[in-house]
Amino acid sequence: MANEKTQLALTGSNVPDYIKPGNRGNENVATALAIPRIKQLQKMSDEVDKHHPKYVEGADPGMFINSISNELLGDVLYVISVNFKTEHVVWRTREAGGGYIGTADTAAAANALVEEQEDSPDKFQVSETHSHLMMIKDPETGVLSLPAIFDFANSKLSVSKNWNTQITSKGGDRFAGLWKLSTVSVENRAGATYLNIKIDWEGWAQEEDYKAAEAVYESHA
């Protein structure tokens, strides 16, 4: 008997019958969660370089990736854009190791964030960014993901502006529609190619998806 251990908790993945359904105690958690960022991998991305410490197995240029889990999401996404805002994002330059530093509402605040870093300012860059809070729908299961942020900057700014125009022209809430984001190859004025995004309207969100997106919108408003 002396060697027996007291059972401290019930194991297993199923919620016991005595636990009430609900989310009590988490009312203020929504804005305290780490929201992943989705990015499109380019030919020069660290994640596609097999000799780089940040290499992700199976990663190819054009794929979308979850910045927190490193989950590869393929080169096509079906999404609901829940909310939008313009931000100024601070990045460490690729030459200095790369990486996300932080986000500010204004360029002045972003520059102040750069000044707070221990390294010299020339190791950072500030990008005007269109940030889309969105939910990704799995085309096979139909399940909507938790919210993620997709940042549109540099050559993607014009894509974002066009998307915003399409969304507002449809009418209804921003999160009323489902959109398809796919990777396309684009040629710049110098003749060099790079990867960008093509956005197409898929249709109105299903009722359960609309309500789920509405709940996310209200929790992040």
- 3-class SS string, 147-212: CEEEEEEHHHHHHHHHHHHHHHHHCCCHHHEEEEEEEEEEECCCCCEEEEEEEEEEEECCHHHHHH
Over the stretch 68-119, which tens digit does the pLDDT of each residue have? 899 999 999 999 999 999 989 898 998 888 888 988 999 999 999 999 998 8
Over the stretch 4-62, which tens digit does the pLDDT of each residue have? 666 677 666 677 787 777 666 766 565 556 789 999 999 989 899 999 999 999 999 99
Please give the model's pTM, rounded to 2 decimal places.
0.76
Nearest to 137 by CA among 179, 83, 199, 85: 179
Residue 89 region, left (φ>0) first, then alpha (ψ -120 to 50), else beta?
A: beta
Nearest to 31 by CA among 221, 215, 176: 221
